[in-house]
Structure 1
Amino acid sequence: MFKLTSLNLNGIRSAAGKGVEAWLARHSPDCICVQEVKAQHADVHGKYDALAGLKGHFHFAEKKGYSGVGAFSRHEPSDVVAGFGCAEFDAEGRYVELRFDTPQRKLSIVSCYFPSGSSGEERQQAKFRFLDALDPHLVALKAQREFILCGDINIAHHEKDLKNWKGNRKNSGFLPEERAWMTKLLTETGLVDVYRHLQPETTEACYTWWSNRGQAYAKNVGWRLDYHLATPGIAHLARSEAIYREQRFSDHAPITVEYDLGL
């Protein structure tokens, strides 16, 4: 089995101080995709460029202390791609792709951090631009190779994916346009929401993010924002899933899926 974890760190230095490396050593994934690294190369080099025996590969934001993604892998990739060819969002460090190519299969594992639009209309419009730019990239990638995109998508797709869906219909993360984009991704583009493939009906157990306000975590007033999105052939190799609600190192919980990949 290939154990793949995704986690928004809300700062790699902060998560390290809360014990994420010890948890990784116990959990022993083959790969962990991380988002919101909030660091640059100089901050990571020699400190966090490897965790629990996994080697890290990163796409840092140009702005210090902002965004950034990484993927730590037990297996050496055949290639690493940082960015997806959109200058606006490549400057924000939102996409890193590890390629594992063999004679039998071309496989990519992508760590991706979608923008949040919750701070206001300017960032919401940026989020829409990101979605518009990412979609054709994923279409082209799917035509060439199998892949799993892991990350903080910042979209709850269905009503069962968040606690207070009625009160959030006009809020970023549950806007009709965002949800329609997800629907298109899973129908026309043909990707699979792996968690929902394995757990089609779960509600409160599916949440991966809780606001730091109003005792949201204690009351489990959460959202499902963290996903594994895979091409169909890979999605159907998924065997089990786990959301580690009690093992948070940020305002997100780690989500793991085991795949029968045979790597």
Structure 2
Amino acid sequence: MKLISWNVNGLRACLKKGFEDTVKGMDADFVCIQETKMQPGQAEVDLPEYPLQYFCSAEKKGYSGTAVFTAREPLDVQYNFGTHTDEGRGIFLEYEDFYLVNVYVPNAQPGLKRIDYRMQWEDDLRAYLAELDRKKPVILCGDMNVAHEEIDLKNPKSNRGNAGFSDQERGKMTELLGAGFTDTFRYLYPDLTGVYSWWSYRFNARKNNAGWRIDYFLVSDRLRDRIREAKIHTDILGSDHCPVELDIDL
């Protein structure tokens, strides 16, 4: 089974940059999207290969939002979780043998202005994932808005303490992994450097590969032996993020 996760930084904009052709070419079973920045009906996604399209939109227009495209009908679909219901940051699909969770984790913002909310969101999500994990294994993907270790960004020293590389955010990722989840890319490639999923639009960051790995597939630890491949498609354009992929036997 192949899954794709991609922060498209505005689905309507990405549609104009070949999104549909890109998705068709990847031939995945699930395509999970973050930062759609749209409300239902604001754009039509022409992907007949994916007749089931689930959108979770923020109340604020042009902000946040998640989506999942698939041909596999779930047993149940849930949008958002707990008290976090207004920013469209999560879609939870239940299948017979697993849960698929697509999230767009809140950005802590410059100066860590939103760090308190980010910490609460992290704690609530981790608790909810633990509930799901007790029932059946979980596949979690999305823009997690954190580079976990120094190996996960080009310039760790100059970014220490900044949003996305603060001790608080890195600590929450450590807690999540410690709660029974595996970072699929690092499981297969523990020492691989220079592979990132996001680059700033400033300072020719992508051209210079001054990036961050902040897009992930995490799986319940008991699925780790079923991981076949984890890829980061750095060659695919259309957003300031690139798609990440998980191939897993399920």
TM tier, smaller: over 0.9
| Partner Cα separation in structure 2 for residue 241 and residue 191 of structure 1 | 15
Amino acid at match of 1:68: G
Q: Distance in 1 between matches of 2:77 and 2:40?
A: 16
Give deviations 1:125-183, integer Å, cap 9, x for gaps: 22122112212111111112211111000011001000100011110111111111111
Partner residue in 1 for 2:49: 53
Mapped contact 2:112–2:162 kept (Cα < 8 A): no
Distance in 2, Cα, partners of 1:260 & 1:134: 25
The letter of the residue matching 1:92 is: E
Q: How far is the alpha carbon of 1:120 from its aligned partner? A: 4.0
2:152 maps to amino acid: D
CA distance in 2, matches of 1:251, 1:125: 26
- Equivalent position of 2:29 in the other structure: 30
What residue in structure 2 maps to residue 78 of structure 1? 75
The reply to whether residue 228 of structure 1 matches residue 228 of structure 2 is no
SS at match of 1:34: strand
| Structure 1 contact 25–52 (Cα < 8 Å) conserved | no
CA distance in 1, matches of 2:136, 2:155: 38
- Matching residue of 2:87: 92
Pairwise CA distance, 1:75: 1.0
CA deviation profile, 1:26-46 (whole Å, cap 9, x unmatched): 1111101100010111214xx
Identical-pair percentage? 39
Provide TM-score, normalisation by structure 1: 0.91
Q: TM-score, normalised by structure 2?
A: 0.96
Partner of 1:4: helix, strand, or coil? strand
**Structure 1 residue 52, shift from structure 2 partner:** 5.0
Q: How does 1:1-263 map to 2 (within 5 A)?
A: 2-44=1-43, 47-48=44-45, 51-54=47-50, 55-86=52-83, 89-101=84-96, 105=97, 107-187=98-178, 189-205=179-195, 207-261=196-250
Q: What is the distance in 1 between the residues matched to 2:136 and 2:109?
A: 33
Contact 2:99 2:137 in 1 (8 A): yes
Give the Cα–Cα distance (whole angstroms) in 2 for the partners of residues 130 and 258 of structure 1.
28
The residue identity in structure 2 corresponding to 1:85 is G
In the alignment of these two chains, the number of paired residues is 249
Q: CA deviation at 1:122?
A: 3.1
- After TM superposition, the structure 1 stretch with the greater mean CA deviation from structure 2, 209-218 or 125-134, is 125-134
SS in 2 for 1:90: coil
